[in-house]
Amino acid sequence: MPLSPIVRLGGGPQLDALRNRLREWLADNLPDEFRHTAANPDYLPRDSHERAVRFCRALHEQGWFVPHWPAQFGGGGLGVVEQVVIREELAYAGAPLVNTNGVNMLAPVLFRFGTPEQRTEHLPKIARSERMWAQGYSEPEAGSDLAALRMTARRDGDDYILDGQKTWTSNGVLADWIFVLARTSPLGDKRQAGISFFLVDLESPGITRRPIRSMTGYPTFAEEFFDGVRVPAGNLVGGEGEGWTVAKALLVAERSNVTRAAQAQRYLDELVDWCHEQRGQIHDPLADPANRLALARAVERVEVGRALSYRVAEQQAADELDPALPSLSKLYYSELTAELRQLGAKILGPAGALLPDDPDALLNGHFSEGLLLSLLHTIGGGTSEIQRDLISTAGLGLPR
């Protein structure tokens, strides 16, 4: 079922032509293996990841991998609205967009806080999928309470020396570089003070990496140990002690979720189409009124989510983003993703619990694998409880 939103962004015939052009290109260029997986390509085995990288480089040649970036940094020079349309179509088709940490998180930070040298060095390589990034925030005793982090960075001449540990590092297995938060001054009364933001080559001497295998079987995360790692002072983003400001800006970019709406629509459409194919069979899921009601509610939830994503995009394009809206979007999709996967698992029955590598798996195992992955979204990037707290304080002005 083609993507056909009830709520549409403005743009008229130009955006429709862009959608059609991209759909035609995807029909000829998107490998079938990626149409049948629910996983983020950064979480797939290395061989699949490398094929995804090749696809993204071909996408870049069309100007569609980072379409909203300036051309001087490898972008397509388009606007935010065009970027949303492109990302929406890619997500619905199942296109594997690699290096989400670099594209969606680090790049907006470098555009805002990076030096000209940092932007020139890193942004074109991100655009060409030549440099993969990991996110080094969480530590064994600092997850959602990120201000409790203990990694230290000590200035030594033209370098900083980093010591400590990071864990649950997104894309930590496949990445070449990592952006990390480290404490450049002792923990004080205001815990957010004294934290700085660094760009680190993962091949630097003193770094040890260990994969962390998730319940899906993929080494989704990693942990890293930093033992006297020298990082050039030129790799500090923002001023020393300004890392908390940089980190908050990065999380806002991470939580905008302009593609999650299309992914939700894709899963729902697959499920509805499968249910129609079962009409008249012994186990007809649509014969159960509870299933029909649940699917109708899912349609409602998905359309509301798409409208929310469009609202985020329009406010970003106007540079008038409500500070609570990214958290609202992140919370909404964390919950919706889990709801859709749970609904699919229930309707598909026992065979719907089979993972993608089983030949009897239904709908390519999207709902079984996706249900496992959906647990990640309620924790990673800030737990749902943290998002509710931010909405209440930043959005409603309630006291902490």
Contacts of 55 (CB under 8 A, 6+ apart): 29, 30, 31, 34, 95, 96
Q: 288 by DSSP, 3-state: which?
A: coil
In contact, 57 and 49? CB cutoff 8 Å:
no
Token look-up 């590092």 returns 169
Side-chain half-sphere CA neighbours of 71 within 13 A: 5
Phi-psi region of 217 (alpha: psi -120 to 50; beta: other; left: phi over 0): left
Instruction: Quote the Cα angle for 312-95-58, to 5°.
Output: 110
Nearest one of 184, 236, 177 to 209, comparing CA atoms: 177
**CB–CB of 218/194 below 8 Å?**
no
Q: What secondary structure letter does DSSP report for 242?
A: B
63's tokens? 């100007």
Rounded Cα distance between 44 and 383, Å, is 23
CB atoms within 10 A of CB 159: 16
What is the dihedral sign for C-alpha 230, 234, 239, 243? negative
Q: Is 254 a catalytic residue?
A: yes
Out of 88, 223, 224, 254, pick the active-site residue: 254
φ and ψ at 164, to 5 degrees? 145, -165
Q: Cα separations (Å) of 361 from 169, 337, 350, 353? A: 30, 20, 10, 7
Q: Which residues are catalytic?
A: 254
